[in-house]
Amino acid sequence: MSSRRIIWLTARREIRTRMATPTYRIGTILMVVVIVGLTFVIDIVGGGSAQRVGLTGEATALAEPLRATATTLGDEVETVSVTDARAATRQVRDGSLDVLVASTPGGLRVVVDERLDDGLRAVLTAVARERALDEQIATLGGDPAEVGRRLAGVRLDVQALDPEEPYAGERLAIGIVVGILVYVALLLYGQIVAQGVVEEKASRVVELLLSTIHAWQLMAGKVLGIGVVALAQLALLLGAGAVAGLATGVLSLPASVAIETFAWAVLWFVLGFFLYALLFAAAGALVSRQEDVGGVTTPLTMAIIIPYVIGVSVLPSDPGNGFVALLSVIPLFAPMLMPMRLAIGGVPAVEVVVALVLTVALVLLLVRLTGRIYSNAVRRTGARITVRDALRA
């Protein structure tokens, strides 16, 4: 039987075993529900709702200017004309209206239940000043409508020396989310690889398997199978989040940009998984008890945690940080930092190419190196084996 066939059979066994567990199925469903639910919560909370403004008396004429000014200032109001001021006051008290506005000789009288929202205060102040200006222009014999048209035609010519990337806020949020998902997936499935190796080694199952196949074939099949399981889960989570975000309007960036971002995330997860899974498999082969797994995998865990912490700490405030850019081309750090930077945008193509080439080269090197460690250590039980002994056994 060819090596390719053996590796695929081993991988298929891992895929069926892992995906059939209730933990995997229930956990995946729960994570999808959480991601989609959070998207809807963000849409409801972040989107806000229009504030209801009651207008009475002469103030009813301010409905259109009030809505226009609110839109200009990035707010949203809904105007309601009321005839009974007392009934409207009761509506303010019970929450049916947010504010009640009446006209006075000196400006506007605003009735609120507890306090006036700062954004709405700015809108009402601007409308009151515009109204006073129109009255003064009319008193002096001018045409307020003509003055308004002249003012509306005024434009600002802004020259940005360092223009912001389009959809920078959304890209930053996506970058952080992608970083979190890749971080959790690498930690979780890296440990699963190591624990799986130790489980087979402790139960002597590995001795039966190695009587018919080579050790490197077993390791390659195990890494490939668990990688497919992990990739399926990550792709499902990213897809669910993208669909929910675009459907609710939380993500306003073009669908092509979202797809490109998630495609980069999947690619870097695949590279990162094989890089770390090979290391975790070799580390697991060095010990014979589950209790010892944590000791041999701690350096690998820290290699995943450190770039994640740096990324989520530095990139939100300084997306173009040079230190992070340098770390993102180093193979051990690239799977965590590069997809976050790519999601934010503005990464030079040469940095992406260098990071890809170095990471792929390291993966190919680790195939031989970790394969030797795994082959020499997986048959030995008892005390922990050092890396040096495993390499020269």
Answer left, alpha or beta for residue 95, where phi above 0 means left and psi between -120 and 50 means alpha. Answer: left
Q: How far apart are the first and last CA of the chain?
A: 27
Write the pLDDT tens digit of every residue in 13-51: 889 988 988 988 998 999 999 988 888 887 776 555 678
Spatial distance between the Cα atoms of 306 and 393, rounded to a whole number of angstroms: 33
Write the pLDDT tens digit of every residue in 344-354: 888 899 999 99
User: pLDDT band at residue 154, thresholds of 50, 70 and 90?
Assistant: low
What residue type is 78 in one-letter code?
E
pTM of the model: 0.69
Write the pLDDT tens digit of every residue in 115-150: 888 888 888 888 888 888 877 888 878 777 777 677
Percent of the chain with pLDDT over 70: 93
Mean predicted confidence (pLDDT) in 259-285:
89
- Tell me, what's the pLDDT at 354? 95
CATH of domain 50-152: 3.40.190.10
- Give the start-to-end residue ranges of the domains of the chain: 11-39+167-392, 50-152
- Tell me, what's the pLDDT at 309? 92
Nearest to 13 by CA among 206, 224, 317: 224
Mean predicted confidence (pLDDT) in 294-313:
91
Residue 371 has pLDDT above 60, yes or no: yes
Residue 167 has pLDDT above 80, yes or no: no
H helices of the chain, in order, are: 3-19, 22-47, 63-72, 85-94, 118-139, 144-152, 168-202, 205-209, 215-248, 255-285, 293-314, 322-327, 334-344, 349-377, 387-392
Q: In this predicted model, which residue has the larger pLDDT, 235 or 391?
A: 235
Residue 333 has pLDDT above 90, yes or no: yes
Burial 185-218 (b: 16+ CB within 10 A, else e): bbbebbbbbbebbbebbeeeebeebbeebebbbb
Token pair, residue 99, equals: 């504010």
Percent of the chain with pLDDT over 90: 18
Mean predicted confidence (pLDDT) in 173-193:
85
C-alpha 298 chain-centroid distance: 26
- Which residues on adjacent β-strands are paired with residue 393? none
H helices of 48-117, in order, are: 63-72, 85-94
Residue 360 has pLDDT above 80, yes or no: yes
Identify the residue whose tokens are 């105007």. Answer: 79
Spatial distance between the Cα atoms of 337 and 272, rounded to a whole number of angstroms: 11
Write the pLDDT tens digit of every residue in 26-35: 989 999 999 8
**Residue 113 contacts residue 91 (beta carbons within 8 Å):** no
Q: Which long-range contacts (CB under 8 A, 24 or more apart) does 371-377 make?
A: 371/215, 371/216, 371/219, 371/220, 373/282, 373/285, 373/286, 374/197, 374/215, 374/216, 374/219, 374/281, 374/282, 374/285, 375/214, 375/215, 375/216, 375/219, 377/282, 377/285, 377/286
Highest mean pLDDT among 142-156, 160-174, 269-283, 373-387: 269-283
Mean predicted confidence (pLDDT) in 217-238:
88
**Residue 359 contacts residue 334 (beta carbons within 8 Å):** yes
Residue 226 has pLDDT above 80, yes or no: yes
